[in-house]
Structure 1
Amino acid sequence: MKRLKDILNILDGKYPLERFERDRLISYGLNITREQIYSEDILVSLEKEAFLVKLFQRRFSGEPIAYITGQQFFYKNPFIITSKVLIPRPETEGLVELALETVKNAKKIVDIGTGSGCIGLSLVKEIPRAHLLAIDISEEALLVAKENAKRLGVSDRVWFFKENAEDFLRKHPEEKGQWEVVVSNPPYLKKEDPFIEDSVLQYEPHEALFAPEEGLYFLKKFFLLALELLSPVGWGFFEIGADQAESMLQYCQGFLEKSQVSVKRDLAGRNRYLLFRKDGIK
């Protein structure tokens, strides 16, 4: 057995990490709170020490901490995360907040490309009478979303659908025009984007990140699907790239009145959220 403080002195020298990441790995590896790290003289077994070393090595090599711990906090809840789904970002929480501010009493919500389920599940967790249709092409992603639904206690209000999004309406034409809200954080990055971090390229699923046509392909495709899914006064909330606002506004205004489509900024002041209301359809 060794004292945790002595182990950390060695790890900090070999694998220097940001303090919050270091503490998160220790808490996860030893199943203790952050407060215990600093307030108790903890003894660590050789087996646990070896486990900590592996955690630090993985993070120091660039692997995202969410994939190492299998968890990421989003909005108000912890979500299970695997390498088969995109890691939820803080800016995506703004999409949830916008939807709640606008349609806080919605009863029927669709999440296209649900991934871990963080957007749609956060909404149904906050709206007790809401039901969610969670669509994704990836079976592995839906397994993660299903586990998250169980953890949040909302499984009985979620319908999971594994297909291309447009196949849902082909198989369930009776659902056309029946949904009040459609949310989506589709793949919208350009592969040649020079600002994408190396760890994102190396570890996160590319099918959840990249899209052809300057990143606009799925945004346009899901927008058209949303128009079919939404009721006459339904709302859509999409996350977009900061440089895609003008293109998406122009595209959407080909189908909706100008007053029914807008782009909102995230907390960093970047264009981030596309909002539209179907009652302005041309």
Structure 2
Amino acid sequence: MAVQNIKDWIALIQLRINIINQQGLLSRKSLNLQSIQRSIYFGSTSSKMRGLSILAGYITASLFASALAVPTDPLGLETRNDLAKRSLPRLVNFDNNNADDRKKTLKIRQSFRDSLELMDYAIKNLDDTVFSHYFDKGDKSKVQDVFDKALGGNPSRGADELGDIDGRGNQIIHFCDRLYNKPLIKDVKCEDLEDTVGADMAVMGATLLHEFILGQSIIDDNHGYGPLETRSLKASDALKNADSYTWMVTENLWTAICDKKFSGPRDARDTADPDCGDKTCTVQ
């Protein structure tokens, strides 16, 4: 079905809802318009067509993922390992006529995909030894549930509290310039990684993931940043510390992709982050 205008979008959305109804897929949960209102913003613009694109993406992601053979994400989100499809974040305050801004938006979009991949690995390819470095083994289901919800299993968690809120109730993530120095997953080569867990593993998508899982019960612990400090937290504190999740999925990803066991971080040699003045921090 060719989409030419707003009416076509409405017709397409209604068609999808009708098909879902016929397949009985709406019994699990109904459309939550508040979740659309809480879409991720990187500034502030909206047009009717853009809004309908986000709405179509949300309906597809939340109600039937890949049940239809038509394109499910107007922004072209491709997923790996049957990853749940979700709408990409709203990217605003970027000038598409500016080459530097276009480059940044492309990197943000890919980092969003990377954050989903990090969580997907933590659900489907979780290394128990890596997990035990950051959490109590008995808390595995609790930790994976956080990622399930951030991936779209429950819109009321995960990306529900992403930082600042604008006047219309939309959450905003602010990206500082130095964040763009962080690589994407595809830019990191296994042979370039040290044998120890460290800052060279950190990717831009991990920072985005860090923000996704912040919420009422998950916070930033002042003594729980980086791969070393997160390993020394009490089990109860780790469950509430966002960077514990971030570093667990980061180490897990490279353990799986590189098919290699990494030694634990030693000291500043492994934890010093050049994008944070050679200190341990989370770039936002």
Whichever of the two has the greater Rg, that structure is: 1
Structure that is richer in helix per residue: 2
TM-score normalised according to structure 2 size? 0.29
TM-score normalised according to structure 1 size? 0.29
**Greater RCO (Cα-Cα under 8 Å, separation 6 or more):** 2
